[in-house]
Chain A
């Protein structure tokens, strides 16, 4: 089955530093990947759509200069949280679909970011 790998699973960083999160589709190619953010006991909120070879599209209210997305290959998308602050602490999850939107998306295992 389709597997999406996310790394790291947990990261703690100091306020003001940048953190990169990787999302890989292991057994399929993904021209589109999605990045979500999830606060404790809340639902998944779509942050941005990552498009291979072109700019990401961001949801309303998401700062594109703060959350940099790079989708340089058909199997890798990265999310970089720049100049992280404690309020950026959250669970970040990526997803992709091997067969198209109608068949649902496979999610990565998530990255717990803690900014201290």
Chain B
């Protein structure tokens, strides 16, 4: 099935550093979601975005709905060890209820 491209695929960062990742699509979406998945668990919703250009924060996490509606960005500030996991974006197109998931960004934090 269709997937969204996420970048980077994986990253190692030092504790305290800021992290940026993005998600791109060839299609336009009306809703963007960001999830985090811990090993052996289901994904947990972090942030939902509904409007082009929208910037939404959840604690140290900030996500943006790209102005073209074909991309989204997630930033994590001052990373901590528990930020380790896989981050997935998911997009919802108009007229559908099925989300398309990104390929994932695997984050590893070095203490």
Contact = CB atoms under 8 A, between A and B. Distances in A.
Contacts of A112: 40
Nearest to B96: A101
Interface stretch (B41-49, B53-61, B62-70, B73-81): B41-49
Nearest to A95: B42
A106 B88 contact: no
Contacts of B7: none
A43 B44 contact: no
A104 B33 CA distance: 7
Contacts of B3: 43
Contact of A110 (B42, B97, B102): B42
A104 B88 CA distance: 13
A60 interface: yes
A108 B43 CA distance: 8
Given A43-B103, A43-B104, A107 B1 contact: no
Contacts of A44: 43, 88, 101
A6 interface: yes
